[in-house]
């Protein structure tokens, strides 16, 4: 009985880690959106593009941060809980 409960807890951990990994995919969509829109704008006005690369990286960093959070949740579930 007790072993069964522990096995179910492990099962829940792995399912939770897999679900948390979906967040990485969502972050990938966000980063692609930022980069794609930057490219679309940069091709319309290439002379203004160079000044905006810093903004591009800040935008990517913010979009990516939440994906990293979900990755961290997955890692915590796998190794720490």
Q: Give the binding-site size for other proteins (rule: CB under 8 A).
A: 14
Minimal distance, residue 1 CB to other proteins, in Å: 25
CA angle 7, 13, 19 (to 5 degrees): 140
Minimal distance, residue 58 CB to other proteins, in Å: 6
The DSSP result for 3-67, as a single string, is HHHHHHHHHHHHHHHHHHHHHHHHHHHHHHHHHHHHHHHHHH-HHHHGGGHHHHHHHHHHHHHHH
The pattern of x and - marking residues 43 through 72 that bind other proteins according to CB under 8 A reads -----------x--xx-xx--xx--xx-xx
Tell me which residues touch other proteins (CB under 8 A).
54, 57-58, 60-61, 64-65, 68-69, 71-72, 75, 79-80
């Amino acid at each position: 009985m007790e072993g069964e409960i522990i096995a179910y807890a492990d099962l829940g951990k792995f399912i939770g880690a897999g679900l948390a990994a979906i967040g990485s995919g969502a972050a990938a969509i966000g980063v692609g959106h930022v980069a794609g829109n930057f490219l679309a704008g940069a091709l319309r006005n290439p002379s203004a593009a160079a000044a905006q690369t810093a903004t591009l990286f800040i935008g990517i960093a913010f979009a990516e941060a939440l994906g990293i959070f979900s990755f961290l949740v997955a890692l915590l579930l796998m190794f720490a809980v």
